[in-house]
Amino acid sequence: MSNEIIFGGAERVPDVRMLYDMAEVIYDKKWLEGRENEELYYMYRDLSQNPDDLEKIQSHNLRYDITIIPPAMLGVEYVKTAGHYHPQVPGSNLSYAEVYQVHEGNATYLLQKVNDGKVEDVVVVEASAMDVVVVPPGYGHITINASDSTLIMANWVCRDFSSVYEPVRNKKGGAYYLLEDGFIQNSAYSQVPGIRHVKPMDVPEFGLFSGEDMYGLVEDLSRLEFLKMPEKYTDIFSQILNE
């Protein structure tokens, strides 16, 4: 596939996630040998439909991105993102939140919450076109494309931080791998709870609805304050992932 996309009438060039970037977190190490230079997926960051939108987005310390994950098998494992956590918000005991929306294809989001090195919760959300999925504070996350179609998804996130990849790399991946035969526990984690399966849900308080393009929130970016100040929205976060 061509790596460039057109967004807002302009050609956008991605950051490319290479297989060698993922070597530590891939389950099938034998398959990995000699394949490190393959491209896996594409990240288009800091997008906007026009210069005025970009100015508004940046003035609110936000960022709108698109990620494209072509279908692939990493040996016996489905293609996935590297996985990361978010740092704590300065002056708060909560980490930054994030929100995703599937535009094309299907996504399997693996979310995991760790406290003092112990995994307390593992949630899987399977999302299809135009579903929205909020990643609450405290959860690391991995996106998996377990289909034979290209996954295109967007995200809104605070632009004030860098994602934290080391904890996932140090554990050789998430708490579970998704293989052809289903999920299998990652033995690098000593104790892991069972997976809770949760459906994508609308969050009206944040202006997030399945079927509505969340880029439209550029017209009211105050609705995305939860991405920067999660401590103001703990009641709402407590309802997310708790079906």
In this predicted structure, the answer to whether residue 1 has a pLDDT above a threshold of 60 is: no
Residue from 112, 116, 124, 95 nearest 174 by CA: 112
Question: Residue ranges of the alpha helices (H) in 158-205?
Answer: 166-170
Mean pLDDT calculated for residue range 127-145: 98
Find, among 125, 140, 101, the residue nearest to 196 by Cα. Answer: 125
Nearest one of 109, 110, 121, 86 to 191, comparing CA atoms: 121
For residue 38, give both structure tokens. 């393959």
Q: Tell me what the pLDDT averaged over the chain comes to.
A: 96
Q: Which pTM does this prediction carry?
A: 0.96
Indicate if the pLDDT at residue 197 is higher than 90.
yes
- Phi, psi (rounded to 5 degrees) for 74: -95, 70
> For residues 46 and 7, what is the distance between their CA atoms, to the nearest angstrom?
11
Q: What is the mean pLDDT of residues 36-65?
A: 96
Of the listed ranges 71-75, 77-81, 112-116, the least confidently predicted one is 112-116
Contacts for 225-228: CB closer than 8 Å, 24+ residues apart: 226/97, 227/62, 227/96, 227/97, 227/98, 227/99, 227/156, 227/157, 227/158, 228/61, 228/62, 228/89, 228/96, 228/158, 228/160
Under 8 Å between Cβ of 123 and 243: no
